[in-house]
Structure 1
Amino acid sequence: MRKIIAAALAAAFVFGGCSAELPQQSSETSQPCATTAENTQERYVPLNYKNQVGMWLPYVRFPDYMQSRSEEQFRKEVVEILEDAAAEGVNTVYFHAHPMGDAYYRSVIFPKGEFLDGSYDPLAIVVDEAHKRDISVHAWINPLRLQTDEQMRALPEDYIIKKWIAAGEPFVKNVNGRWYLDPAYPETRQLLTETAAEILDGYKVDGLHIDDYFYPTADTDFDSEAFAESGESDLAQWRMDNVSSFVKALYDTVKSRDERLLFGISPQANISADYDSQFADVRRWAGEQGFCDYIVPQIYFGFNNENSPFLTVLQQWEDLARDSGVSLVIGLAPYKLGREDKWAGKAAELEWINDPDIISKQIAAVKESSADGYALYY
């Protein structure tokens, strides 16, 4: 990962400047950009930046530096990742604390993640080491995605999801062998807010972050019973309202702990697909206050993509977030460097192979846009 970070960010623009509208410090002295607590016994003061340079730390990479590692080894790996990231200007990490009905933190609600085979607390270590380097930590959760059938069978019987399944509750649904929460029910929204509260109350995280796992299918059978009982006539709008309801609930949970904590959403960048396949009302979230503090569309497209060219999609998101008070952070895809892009159209299939400077060029384009920052997915 260190080599990837260096290659992706070498000669790249790094957003400068200090945090905007910083809270008042608890002491007369303060750092020029980051906000920190003077007295660790007092209320934690979140560390956040107006111009994010973000980096996702996804669970799919956990086998590389967590699985089969001791606490000491894991901490060493995290230090190397964070130091390399900080050296290249990264000021915010989104750590995958809750990828699929599991926990890479101390939880009384969810079972331990399968890649965590030690007894240490990954989130606590990441928060500790990141804050030493003035890096903000946002706990990243997938709100609706749960375990597969096979994984579920191996879990304890007292796991709340397994109890719901055994009781035939409609709150969880199986789609192609994987379980998902159904956002139509207050019980699932309550579980999501309890998940957020467990993390926010247990750790000095600086925010909460969700990505693009909303409705797992557009199939009308997924929630036909709940829709019939709702009395509504527009299925798509009803589903969008269900998603916005739990998004709002998460935002409110974050703000109930501290107004200075941030809540961010990272949807897919194709706006039509957000609505048609996931029922994610991104125009509302990006255009109105009260749903998120920042939004990170995953613009994982090259400049020559035949269906979604980078600059066109960037402009679409600028238009959505303009004058809304919601910060726009552009998600970029250095993981695609050196790979064929089969979905980009024939003329653009080899763009990520032929142009090794594509990420640097995209960061430069973000600098010229109205966006407040960018985030990198390796």
Structure 2
Amino acid sequence: MKASRLAAAGLAATLLGALAAAPSATAAPDPAAATTTCTTDPATPKRQFRALWIASVTNIDWPSKASQTAPDQVAQQKAEYLGWLDLAERLNHNAVVVQVRPTADAFWPSAHEPWSEYLTGVRGKDPGWDPLAFLVEESHKRNLEFHAWFNPYRVSMPAPGGAGADLAQLAPGHPARQHPEWTFAYPPAGVAGSRLYYNPGVPKVREFVQTAMMDAVSRYDIDGVHFDDYFYPYPSGTHQVPDDATFAAYNRGFTNKADWRRDNINLLIQEMNAKIKAVKPWVKFGVSPFGIWRNASADPLGSDTTGSQSYDIISADTRTWVKQEWVDYIVPQLYWYIGQYPAADYARLVPWWAETVRGTRVQLYIGQADYKSGDPAYGSFWMNPRELSDHLTLNRSYPEVQGNVHFSAVQVRANRLGATDIYAAEHYSRPALVPTMSHLPAKPLLFPVVTQATRQADGVRLSWRQPADGVGPFGDATGYAIYRFDGTTLGGACGTADAAHLVDTVRATSGAVQSWVDTTAVPGKRYTYRLTALDRLANESPLSPPRFVG
């Protein structure tokens, strides 16, 4: 107890010294009054998860084509990724969800699985650099969360003549070639669209895929682990998944195969979450499932829909994952329009998902179908340039909806009908912090102290110091939120209750002094700047003392 008092006294002395050394730091930070009721603008929420899906499978988004390993080709791939980060920043996004294990392969030097063909065009070929390290580092430079997107069971994609199910086409030494008993082809080999899957019913498979993915969690500074909707394969015609022998060998006492399959996936989700949290308790785990769990006609707990049911067709009991809190967030793919569409009306599914997460610690983000916007193949509703913006407006009626993820990056950039511009202007006009997750580890941060604010040709440069309150060079601060108020307004709790005055968030950099330039400051105009420190989960410190610029 005595040692902790001494440590606290030392921190206080450090902080008082910083305040004394800081010109114009005239006040202690405003306490965040929990009882204050603030009027906020729903168009500029302070916290909202906003992300692009950046898909690598078949080179959908990044890299746009598999290249060889010449330095200029590697540089081109890197520059292309930086372009996606530019887009995310321009749209005031705060995260990217990047596919780094599309087909039982890896975008990093893995001891468990081969290099992805989508990097070099050759399965198992070393690209000569570490893409995942680059992806994480560059995303963090922009203060974007990096969610590593893994596909758990898919081993290959379709190939002409049904050759996608040919084990011999995999990289030499591929685990599936070494353990063909771990796999099945679906649809059957030789049938159009056939591909290979790891068999979710084999216990060693579940253990292996978790080990392969945990390698990335352990070795890289990722912020989240993300699964998509591919578990058991989607049905193809009348073909059946060939797992009778697996069920006989590993049924764990189940007599109903459908229940057993769902339990296989439940175990994957539950165990993966536990393994992530055991290694890095702050890393989030999320899944983006098909948008319908079950229809009300099949289950009174289901939604007012008549479409395919993930519970039945791909053995994904998503509602249980939420209720058991095996995931930190869920992103249902609500790829339907608002309107009289009985199979799956967006306006009916959002309230169902909101009710499903209500009372749990699981956060709800919505998967948005940017790929359908402006494409006449998907019907007249998607020719309305406001359709996606209307989705985000509808979301405001449900406080459980805390963000959106857009599929996919190339479609967002395409901006067909100007739809991206519309929803960005109406919903993403200001930066936003990611939602906090109170059940993940955090501890209070000390506030930063602005030591200098000077006008220069390109704007107002702020410099600040962060008192050390943890193990890192700036304690536990990994970033900062920067608020700007007109004149000598102090802001306070209500001034920072939404993003109206949030001008940027920045990543902490090495060195005792942090700095940033406000390029949007109007020459000659008086401003007050206040900052908060952010931990890696975007929990905020109290506000810094104000810094005035005249």
Residue 294 of structure 1 corresponds to 329
For the aligned residues, what is the CA RMSD? 2.2
Secondary structure at the counterpart of residue 238 of structure 1: helix
- Pairing partner for 1:364 from 393, 396, 408: 393
5+ residue gaps, structure 2: 1-13, 19-45, 121-126, 158-162, 188-193, 295-308, 409-550
Residue 196 of structure 2 corresponds to 179
Residue by residue, what CA displacement relative to the aligned partner does 1:22-52 show, whole Å, maximum 9, x if unpaired?
Answer: xxxxx989xxxxxxxxxxxxxxxxxxx9631
Letter in 1 for 2:352: Q
- Pairing partner for 1:188 from 182, 205, 210: 205
Shift in Å at residue 368 of structure 1?
2.5
Contact 2:63 2:81 in 1 (8 A): no
Residue 224 of structure 1 corresponds to 244
Q: Separation in 1 of the partners of 2:169 and 2:201?
A: 27
Residue by residue, what CA displacement relative to the aligned partner does 1:232-256 show, whole Å, maximum 9, x if unpaired?
Answer: 2222211111100011111112111
- Pairing partner for 2:117 from 109, 114, 139: 114
Q: Give the structure with the higher percent strand.
A: 2
Residue 141 of structure 2 corresponds to 132
Q: Is 1:95 aligned to residue 106 of structure 2?
A: no
Q: How high is the TM-score relative to the length of structure 2?
A: 0.55
Q: Separation in 2 of the partners of 1:362 and 1:224?
A: 43
Q: Separation in 1 of the partners of 2:130 and 2:241?
A: 39
Contact 2:100 2:106 in 1 (8 A): yes
Relative to structure 1, is the Cα distance of residues 279 and 159 closer, same or farther in structure 2, using a 3 angstrom cutoff?
same
Contact 2:62 2:81 in 1 (8 A): no
Relative to structure 1, is the Cα distance of residues 215 and 79 closer, same or farther in structure 2, using a 3 angstrom cutoff?
same
Deviation larger for 251-260 or 54-63: 54-63
Instruction: Within 5 Å, give how 1:251-262 maps onto structure 2.
Output: 251-262=273-284
Relative to structure 1, is the Cα distance of residues 373 and 181 closer, same or farther in structure 2, using a 3 angstrom cutoff?
same
Residue 352 of structure 1 corresponds to 382
Shift in Å at residue 217 of structure 1?
5.1
Shift in Å at residue 67 of structure 1?
3.8
Q: What is the number of residues matched between the two proteins? A: 321
Instruction: Within 5 Å, give how 1:141-156 maps onto structure 2.
Output: 141-148=150-157, 149-150=163-164, 152-156=167-171
Q: Separation in 1 of the partners of 2:333 and 2:183?
A: 27
Deviation larger for 363-372 or 185-194: 363-372
Shift in Å at residue 122 of structure 1?
2.1
Relative to structure 1, is the Cα distance of residues 50 and 100 closer, same or farther in structure 2, using a 3 angstrom cutoff?
farther
Q: Separation in 2 of the partners of 1:257 and 1:286?
A: 22
Q: Separation in 2 of the partners of 1:50 and 1:224?
A: 48
Q: How high is the TM-score relative to the length of structure 1?
A: 0.80
Q: Is 1:80 aligned to residue 83 of structure 2?
A: yes
Q: Separation in 2 of the partners of 1:217 and 1:329?
A: 23
User: Which structure has the larger Rg?
Assistant: 2
Q: Separation in 2 of the partners of 1:111 and 1:250?
A: 21
Secondary structure at the counterpart of residue 226 of structure 1: helix
Q: Separation in 1 of the partners of 2:106 and 2:99?
A: 9
Contact 2:322 2:357 in 1 (8 A): yes
Q: Is 1:376 aligned to residue 406 of structure 2?
A: yes
Residue 259 of structure 2 corresponds to 237
Q: Separation in 2 of the partners of 1:73 and 1:221?
A: 41
Secondary structure at the counterpart of residue 271 of structure 2: helix
Contact 2:62 2:80 in 1 (8 A): no
Shift in Å at residue 120 of structure 1?
2.5
Residue 161 of structure 1 corresponds to 176
Q: Separation in 2 of the partners of 1:154 and 1:228?
A: 30
User: Which runs of structure 1 show a deviation greater than 3 angstroms over 4 or more consecutive aligned residues?
Assistant: 65-69, 148-152, 154-157, 217-221
Deviation larger for 58-67 or 80-89: 58-67
Residue 3 of structure 1 corresponds to none
Shift in Å at residue 63 of structure 1?
4.7
Contact 2:66 2:117 in 1 (8 A): no
Deviation larger for 57-66 or 81-90: 57-66
Contact 2:97 2:226 in 1 (8 A): yes
- Pairing partner for 2:50 from 31, 49, 53: 53
Relative to structure 1, is the Cα distance of residues 221 and 139 closer, same or farther in structure 2, using a 3 angstrom cutoff?
closer
Q: Separation in 2 of the partners of 1:83 and 1:70?
A: 20
Shift in Å at residue 228 of structure 1?
2.7
